Amino acid sequence: MATPSAAPAFRRSRLVRLLSWPLYLALAAVGLVADPAAGTASASPGPAAAPGTGAVDCDSVPCVALTFDDGPGPYTGELLDLLAAEEVTATFFVVGRSAEESPATVARAAAEGHEVGNHSWAHDDLTEKTGPEVARDLERASLAITGATGRWPDLMRPPYGAVSETSLAHTYYPAILWDVDSRDWTGLDSEAIVESTMEQVRPGSIVLLHDSLAPTVEAAPELIDRLRGQGYHFVGVSEILDNTDLENGTAYRRRP
């Protein structure tokens, strides 16, 4: 799913990181972000487990990445309880504004081994912004996420899955889309969410779900049961994409 814009986007990304360095150091000095050189999240609320370091070999066993968007919200805690009880690893693409309002929930997700990605500051359609506005929006969200987890997010998901050449060129993260749309956002009930997902899933899938929706959280126990019954292992997005060097500004939909 590489795009021609990947290579220049990557070069620009390094430039932006250099430009952002004084801000980063300033935040590190006041303990808002972890010092990457230290290797520990000294000021984080809990030890953020490095995602994608599990022992599952997705070439040998069927893997699936469940992704939950638009939180944190009122149902996120219940979902985290379930994932902990079932020992399921997932990925949360959180809205920066909500992460700033509910940092403890985001911190918990990270501390319990889930991946936490950037889903923009306020869930705007990034294709309606200028390139610099896209970059500023995502940076603002990442600052809120880092304030909660102590870890700068590695991944982003564009709201609505909407991307353009301009938005991707100013997205200094891999852009994670999906190959399985549960269609939970269309108002399906929990049973229909399970059926819709099971009809589409295959080894290596990235599944779009929303922890902001009550029927989705209600569907999660049965969905996990059914997938496990088919032999699936639950991994984060980084792991299903094989922890390869993902390119900034490039969209990914499933395991290659």
Query: Considering beta carbons, is residue 123 or 226 the nearer one to Ni ion?
Result: 123
**Cα 218 from Cα 239, distance rounded (Å):** 26
**Closest CB 176 distance from Ni ion, rounded Å:** 12
Q: Does 184 bind Ni ion (CB under 5 A)?
A: no
**Closest CB 153 distance from Ni ion, rounded Å:** 15
Cα-based distances in Å from 146 to 5, 232, 233: 27, 31, 28
Amino acid letter at 75?
Y
The single residue listed with the structure tokens 């149902």 is 75
Query: Considering beta carbons, is residue 64 or 208 the nearer one to Ni ion?
Result: 208
Helix pair angle (103-111, 131-149), 10° resolution: 70
**Closest CB 185 distance from Ni ion, rounded Å:** 8
184 is catalytic: no
Query: Is residue 183 within 8 Å of 196, Cβ to Cβ?
Result: yes
The SS3 call for residue 67 is strand
Cα-based distances in Å from 14 to 7, 21, 179, 233, 240: 11, 11, 29, 34, 25
**Closest CB 121 distance from Ni ion, rounded Å:** 12
69 is catalytic: yes
72 cis-preceded (ω within 30 degrees of 0): yes
**Residues binding Ni ion: number (CB under 5 A):** 3
Query: Considering beta carbons, is residue 151 or 157 the nearer one to Ni ion?
Result: 157
How many other β-carbons are positioned within 10 Å of the β-carbon of residue 50?
Answer: 11
- Find the catalytic residue in 170, 210, 211, 233: 210
Query: Considering beta carbons, is residue 70 or 218 the nearer one to Ni ion?
Result: 70
- Within residues 217-256, the interface with Ni ion by CB under 5 A covers none
How many other β-carbons are positioned within 10 Å of the β-carbon of residue 213?
Answer: 23
- Find the catalytic residue in 69, 154, 184, 211: 69
**Closest CB 159 distance from Ni ion, rounded Å:** 5
Query: Considering beta carbons, is residue 44 or 120 the nearer one to Ni ion?
Result: 120
Which residue in the shown chain puts its C-beta closest to Ni ion?
Answer: 69
- Which two three-digit tokens encode residue 165? 């050449």
The SS3 call for residue 183 is coil
- Within residues 139-168, the interface with Ni ion by CB under 5 A covers 159
Per-residue x/- track, 50-89, Ni ion (CB under 5 A): -------------------xx-------------------
Residues at the interface with Ni ion (CB under 5 A): 69-70, 159
Question: Catalytic amino acids?
Answer: 69, 210
